[in-house]
Amino acid sequence: MKAMILAAGRGTRMRALTDTLPKPLLTVRDTPLLDRLIGQLATAGFTDIVINVAYLGGKIREHLGTGAHLSVTIRYSDEGPAGLETGGGIRRALPLLGHEPFLVVNGDIYTDYDFSRLPAAPAALAHLVLADNPDHHPQGDFGLCDGRVTDSAPRLTFTGIGVYRATLFAEMTADRFPLAPLLRRAILQGLVTGEHHRGLWTDVGTPERLAALNAAGMDR
C-alpha–C-alpha distance, residues 179 and 160, integer Å: 11
3-state secondary structure of 9: coil
Q: How far from 176 is each of 141, 172, 173, CA to CA, in Å?
A: 22, 10, 9
List all residues 6 or more positions away from 119 whose beta carbon is below 8 Å from its beta carbon.
Answer: 101, 127, 163, 193
Chain-centre distance for alpha carbon 199: 17
CATH classification code of 3-215: 3.90.550.10
C-alpha–C-alpha distance, residues 47 and 195, integer Å: 23
Judge contact between 36 and 204, C-beta under 8 A: no
Tens of each residue's pLDDT in the chain, 220 residues: 999 999 998 777 888 788 889 999 999 999 999 999 999 999 999 999 999 999 899 999 999 999 999 999 999 999 998 899 999 999 999 999 999 999 999 999 999 999 999 999 999 999 999 999 999 999 999 999 999 999 999 999 999 999 999 999 999 999 999 999 999 999 999 999 999 999 999 999 899 999 999 998 654 4
Phi, psi of 100 (to 5 degrees): -80, 160
**Beta strand spans in the chain (E):** 3-6, 27-28, 31-32, 48-53, 73-78, 102-106, 109-111, 126-131, 143-145, 148-150, 157-164, 192-197, 201-203
